[in-house]
């Protein structure tokens, strides 16, 4: 099974991970107070020179004069407005090797979407969660000397990173943060909240387009007819909304897969440290309000072995119910988008028909003018035909081809015989062949044009 994960991991689809960044590492750590349910979230930057010391730091330290235990380490990959750098390839590889995350990291980069669990290695569980191109997360979870350790490498930029950081700063119990599925829960929560924001943005655009097209029945919607040149841009906006909704459907499927994956791993055996933390925190929380006998009685009623799994299942149940309503809302918005796309299609078709009608009217006007011009040309041709024979005869007789002097000396007035000069035969000897050559060249040109057109039609070249 591990060989198959390595096979897929050898083919990455996340190219931006391969770009070397600044040799500074941005990390987030979560610490749990040993004697109270308080949680401390620290964000800091680690230089490449101090990376070894940071990796070897003790999981226990005093924060604000109180003993704390580290529950989670998270390393950010990618850039955003707050952290403008990411670990370079060498530092990132050192992190992955130290946390046994190289295979999980490679496998996460080979997926477009989904969640998976890699084979356990030396008591360390390896998990991945991916949603291209917004999120790629790989993490390990193990129990060392009775203490849980969760190490996460996550790619998230912009709004995605802000959502995860905001979720980390919320109020969570130490046992819940120490559960192996907590990073998966963060991914599901981030994608779910991002989907809500996307749907709200799409609704704003749809409301504007509905007001422009008038294809709605909302009485409170102000009516504004779109100009002819705006129909194309409005149609492009609706197509973009449809693409975002398709992306939202994929996001819903990933959230469902994450929730199902968490439910599958929710009933893992509670670590001894987690049980100890739950018992200690519940005891300290009620110590102020209860006597010793009542405190012991209350602690005996607590079932710490099932508490974290129960909390996780409760959170997942709430997430699943939100997913169901998000799917209903997404379907509703998608139908509104399709209505506007169809409305814009018909409006554009009506506009094209109006333009075609105007074009047809102009064509009819041009045809009418052409008919009048054709009639005028026919009249001119008729007049030319009327004068052409006489013009030809006059031109022929005016040429020095006839012997008019001999006709004038002829005493017989009844005779109209006119003698010809030698140039008369020369005129026909030149004119007739030249006419034949002219018509022959024209016929050859016509034949060549027909052959060329036939060849173009045969080869499909126009």
Average pLDDT of the segment spanning 254-262: 96
- pLDDT at position 143, please? 85
Q: Which of 45-49, 71-75, 279-283 has the lowest mean pLDDT?
A: 279-283
Looking at the structure, do residues 236 and 326 belong to the same domain, yes or no? yes
Same-domain pairing of 1 and 102: yes
Mean pLDDT, residues 291-298 taken together: 42
CB neighbour burial string for 3-32, b if at least 16 within 10 angstroms, e if fewer = eebeeebeebebeebeeebbbbbbbbbbbb
Query: Confidence class of residue 218 from pLDDT cuts 50, 70 and 90?
Result: confident
The answer to whether 195 and 248 are in contact (CB under 8 A) is yes
Q: How large is the average pLDDT for residues 64-68?
A: 86
- What's the number of domains the chain is made of? 3
Residues 353 and 430 in one domain: no
Q: CA-CA distance, 206 to 338, in Å (whole number)?
A: 10
Please give the residue that has the higher pLDDT: either 222 or 215. 215
148, 28: one domain: yes
Beta partners for residue 63, in sequence order? 66
More confident residue, 419 or 301: 419
pLDDT band at 413 (very low <50, low <70, confident <90, very high): low
Strands 24-33 and 66-77: antiparallel
149 vs 152: CA distance, rounded Å = 10
Q: Is 422 left (phi over 0), alpha (psi -120 to 50) or beta?
A: alpha
Least confident of 1-15, 289-303, 413-427: 289-303
Using alpha carbons only, what angle is made at residue 209 by residues 213 and 207, rounded to the nearest 5 degrees?
Answer: 120
For the cut 80, the answer to whether the pLDDT of residue 270 exceeds it is no
| Mean pLDDT taken over the chain | 82
Contact 275, 299 (CB under 8 A): no
Q: Indicate whether 333 and 410 sit together in one domain.
A: no
Q: Which of 110-124, 282-296, 385-399 has the lowest mean pLDDT?
A: 282-296
Say yes or no: 298 and 442 in one domain. no
**245 contacts 330 by C-beta, under 8 angstroms:** yes
pLDDT for position 1 = 53
Burial degree of 130 (CB within 10 A; 0-12, 13-18, 19+): buried
Residues 117 and 130 in one domain: yes
CB atoms within 10 A of CB 341: 16
Do 386 and 441 lie in one domain? The reply is no
Residue at which a domain ends, from 111, 140, 171: 171
Peptide bond into 194 cis (omega under 30): no
Select from 126, 153, 171 the last residue of a domain. 171
Q: Could you tell me if 205 and 323 lie in one domain?
A: yes
Domain boundary among 150, 171, 192: 171
Inter-residue contact 17 to 155 (CB < 8 Å): yes
Range(s) of the domain holding residue 458:
402-462
Same structural domain for residues 121 and 189?
no
pLDDT at 22: 55
């Amino acid at each position: 099974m591990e060989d198959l994960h390595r096979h897929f991991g050898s083919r990455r689809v996340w190219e931006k991970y391969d770009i070397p960044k600044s040799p500074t590492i941005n990390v987030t750590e979560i610490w749990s107070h040993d004697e109270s349910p308080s949680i401390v979230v620290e964000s800091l930057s680690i230089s490449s020179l101090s990376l070894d010391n940071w990796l070897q730091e003790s999981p226990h330290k005093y924060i604000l004069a109180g003993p704390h235990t580290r529950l989670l380490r998270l390393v950010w990959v990618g850039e955003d407005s707050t952290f403008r750098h990411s670990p370079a390839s060498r530092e990132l590889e050192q992190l992955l090797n130290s946390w046994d995350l190289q295979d999980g990291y490679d496998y996460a980069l080979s997926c477009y979407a989904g969640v998976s669990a890699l084979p356990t290695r030396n008591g360390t569980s390896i998990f991945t969660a991916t949603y291209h191109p917004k999120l790629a997360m790989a993490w390990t979870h193990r129990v060392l000397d009775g203490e849980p350790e969760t190490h996460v490498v996550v790619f998230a930029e912009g709004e995605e990173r802000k959502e995860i950081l905001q979720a980390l700063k919320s109020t969570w119990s130490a046992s819940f943060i120490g559960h192996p599925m907590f990073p998966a829960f963060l991914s599901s929560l981030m994608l779910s909240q991002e989907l809500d924001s996307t749907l709200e943005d799409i609704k704003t655009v749809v409301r504007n387009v509905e007001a422009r097209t008038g294809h709605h029945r909302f009485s409170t919607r102000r009516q504004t007819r779109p100009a002819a040149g705006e129909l194309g841009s409005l149609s492009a906006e609706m197509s973009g909304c449809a693409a975002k909704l398709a992306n939202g459907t994929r996001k819903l499927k990933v959230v469902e897969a994450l929730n199902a994956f968490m439910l599958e791993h929710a009933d893992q055996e509670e670590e001894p440290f987690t049980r100890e933390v739950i018992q200690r925190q519940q005891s300290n929380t009620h110590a102020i309000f209860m006597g010793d006998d009542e405190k012991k009685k209350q602690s005996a009623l607590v079932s710490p072995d099932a508490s974290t799994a129960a909390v996780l299942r409760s959170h997942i149940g709430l997430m699943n119910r939100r997913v169901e309503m998000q799917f209903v809302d997404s379907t509703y918005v998608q139908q509104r988008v399709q209505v506007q796309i169809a409305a814009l299609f018909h409006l554009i078709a009506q506009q094209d028909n109006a333009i075609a009608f105007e074009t047809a009217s102009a064509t009819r006007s041009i045809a009418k003018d052409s008919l009048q011009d054709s009639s005028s040309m026919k009249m001119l041709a008729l007049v030319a035909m009327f004068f052409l024979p006489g013009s030809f005869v006059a031109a022929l007789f005016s040429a020095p081809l006839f012997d008019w002097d001999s006709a004038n000396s002829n005493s017989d007035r009844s005779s109209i015989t006119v003698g010809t000069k030698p140039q008369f035969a020369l005129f026909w000897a030149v004119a007739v062949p030249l006419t034949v050559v002219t018509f022959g060249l024209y016929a050859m040109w016509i034949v060549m044009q027909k052959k060329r057109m036939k060849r173009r039609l045969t080869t499909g070249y126009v």
